[in-house]
Amino acid sequence: MAATPAVRALERASVAYVLHPYDAEHPADQGHGEAAVAALGADPRQVLKTLVTRVDGALTVAVVPVSGTLDLKALAAAGGGRKAVMADPADAERATGYVLGGISPLGQRKALPTVVDSSALEFDTVLVSAGRRGLQVELSPAELVRLTRARAAPIGR
Q: How confident is the model at residue 24 (pLDDT cuts 50, 70, 90)?
A: confident
pLDDT > 70? residue 111: yes
> What pTM was computed for the model?
0.92
Quick check: helix, strand or coil at residue 87? coil
Determine how β-strand 151-153 pairs with β-strand 135-139. unpaired
Asked, for residue 6, whether it belongs to a domain, the answer is: no
* Domain interval for residue 59: 16-153
Determine contact, residues 54/85, Cβ cutoff 8 Å. yes
Q: Looking at residues 67-83, what average pLDDT do you find? A: 95
Q: Looking at residues 86-95, what average pLDDT do you find? A: 95
| Closest-CA residue to 96 (of 114, 84, 105, 108) | 108
pLDDT > 90? residue 105: yes
Asked, for residue 129, whether it belongs to a domain, the answer is: yes
Share of the chain above pLDDT 90, in %: 78
Asked, for residue 2, whether it belongs to a domain, the answer is: no
Asked, for residue 106, whether it belongs to a domain, the answer is: yes
Q: Looking at residues 51-56, what average pLDDT do you find? A: 96
Asked, for residue 104, whether it belongs to a domain, the answer is: yes
pLDDT > 90? residue 127: yes
The number of folded domains in the chain is 1
Asked, for residue 11, whether it belongs to a domain, the answer is: no
Lowest mean pLDDT across 11-15, 34-38, 149-153? 34-38
pLDDT of residue 1: 56
Share of the chain above pLDDT 70, in %: 96
d(CA 153, CA 46): 16
Asked, for residue 3, whether it belongs to a domain, the answer is: no
In CATH, what number is assigned to the domain containing residue 77? Answer: 3.90.960.10
pLDDT > 60? residue 36: yes
pLDDT of residue 40: 86
Asked, for residue 134, whether it belongs to a domain, the answer is: yes
Q: Sign of dihedral through CA atoms 135, 137, 138, 142? A: negative
